Amino acid sequence: MLTSLLIANRGEIACRIIRTARAMGIRTVAVYSDADAKALHVRQADEAVHIGRSPARESYLVGEKIIAAARATGAEAIHPGYGFLSENADFAQSVIDAGLIWVGPKPDSIRAMGLKDAAKERMIAAGVPVTPGYLGEDQSPDVLATEAGKIGYPVLIKAVAGGGGKGMRRVDDATDFADALASCKREAASSFGDDRVLIEKYILSPRHIEVQVFGDTHGNVVHLFERDCSLQRRHQKVIEEAPAPGMSEETREAICAAAVRAAKAVDYVGAGTIEFIADASEGLRADRIWFMEMNTRLQVEHPVTEEITGVDLVEWQLRVASGEPLPKRQDELAINGWAIEARLYAEDPATGFLPSTGRLECYFVEDDSIRVESGYDRGSIVSPFYDPMIAKLIAWSDERPAAIDKLLLALNDTALWPVKSNAGFLYRALFHDQFKQGNITTSFIEDHGDQLRGLTEPTDEMLASAARELVSEAEAAWQVGLTSFRLNAAPMRTVPLSFGSDIFYPEAPLIFRGRVFSDIVAPGVALVTLCGESFALWSTA
């Protein structure tokens, strides 16, 4: 077993890996940029090494600095987490060439799945169903337009080297194809240095289903069942769950078997995810689910799989990297209950999801009944240099409705200030009837945007509760002779409140379903949260 591990990442995934490594008795080494000098993962690790300035291209994306940090600290292995260099085959090979252990798949496996057209050809050879489309070498606009016509509109143009939703365009009509192709190629060249594209049939009722696979160096490959990641915004996942709503045992068996074949086709070792697109117009059927791509790393949403299987996937990664066989056989793995994960981002839904940065003067997530994976705590700085995800909130229960309710209760109490968050947006998405029924596609957020948009000012219920809290504080202070004494007047029972340039005069306090924080921001200020929305209200009395 490994004795020391360098984590080539930051934020919540670095903290997540540190937690498991520590439980296994493995010494951890963190790396950090200027912006992360006081970050949570740096404080939690046994040792930390500075690797450069704040931009990722000068720190977390510089493989030579990371390998040098491992050598300087005596780390035996490097875990890349996800993002940054996690799917960079050349970096993986450099780690191995340096005499270190790479906690991930073989570089050749990463390369085999790195280009979408080559990956699909390999999947076809392995008997894995793929989306109807064009994978040809001829990239001339006329040929591509002709092939799109053969496939039938709508079609999806996808960058061969793409990922993260970049280099993708939906085209509904032949007259729009040329402009969409040119735009897609420009973005692909800029983002990936490769402007080649493939064309796929666009699925009109799409669901994003993925299967967690795991292989070892002894030839064993298992699946850990499926996840549904259909709730997305601009091709970025927002809420994920396991298992997938409406998945029959017959369909599950077929898709999971296809995922194992896919992993075996590239001699896969470690944690990986086979992603499928499903046409859900007639429910989830095995003959209408097709391979999209493989993510050759641990996924952001891996906790929902851990929750329903009782497996620690990071522990499995470290054991497999040490040369051990998989801890469990396929017949020892089973689904238990339901898990749902929501990604808490530092962004403002009311302004088109613009990122929000700054110091977290208040950061509260109720974690008594749910699992919280975070790279931040109160006082942490949310910088503009990296992905704005603050935390992942994961709820588990025996049944899906109960898991949803747990997550709703946690989001109701979530409070961030002055940094904005999408907590209210997540709450409304989970509360939506269509989501509760499990009847969602990847267009859910686009279709219901107006219903999911955030509040721009506090509700009457929030105002009344803030006033009640501030009155209680004022009366308590008056009783000890500090303040709130009013000459020739009865003790104050309410207070006028300001929010922005507006002054509010709340009515009698109501029964409040949210939470009030009156001792965090400043004296005379109440931070009120309800259904994930947080507002700071000042007393003007």
Report the b/e string of 432-441 with b at 16+ CB within 10 A.
Answer: beebeeeebb
Q: Is 297 a catalytic residue?
A: yes
* Contact call for residues 12 and 389 (beta carbons, < 8 A): yes
- DSSP conformation letters of 315-361: HHHHHHHTTPPPSS-GGG----SEEEEEEEESEEGGGTSEE--EE-S
Q: How many CB atoms lie within 10 A of CB 390?
A: 28
Longest dimension (CA), the chain: 89
What is the rounded distance in angstroms from the CA atom of residue 197 to the CA atom of residue 459? Answer: 49
Q: Which amino acid is at 506?
A: P
Among candidates 358, 301, 297, 385, which has minimal Cα distance to 114? 297
What is the rounded distance in angstroms from the CA atom of residue 185 to the CA atom of residue 197? Answer: 7
Q: How open is the CA angle 310-313-314, to the nearest 5 degrees?
A: 130
Tokens of 342: 């929501």
What is the rounded distance in angstroms from the CA atom of residue 174 to the CA atom of residue 154? Answer: 9
* Contact call for residues 32 and 378 (beta carbons, < 8 A): no
Q: Which amino acid is at 255?
A: I
Tokens of 188: 């692909």
Tokens of 284: 């989830």
Of the listed 169, 196, 297, 319, which one is catalytic? 297
Q: Which residues contact 377 (CB under 8 A, 6 or more apart)?
A: 40, 360, 363
CA dihedral 178, 180, 186, 191 (to 10 degrees): -150
* Contact call for residues 255 and 286 (beta carbons, < 8 A): yes
In the block, tokens 């007047």 appear at: 489
What is the rounded distance in angstroms from the CA atom of residue 481 to the CA atom of residue 473? Answer: 13
Among candidates 222, 322, 275, which has minimal Cα distance to 1? 322
Among candidates 378, 379, 372, which has minimal Cα distance to 406? 372
In the block, tokens 């939506």 appear at: 432
| Catalytic residue positions, numbered | 297
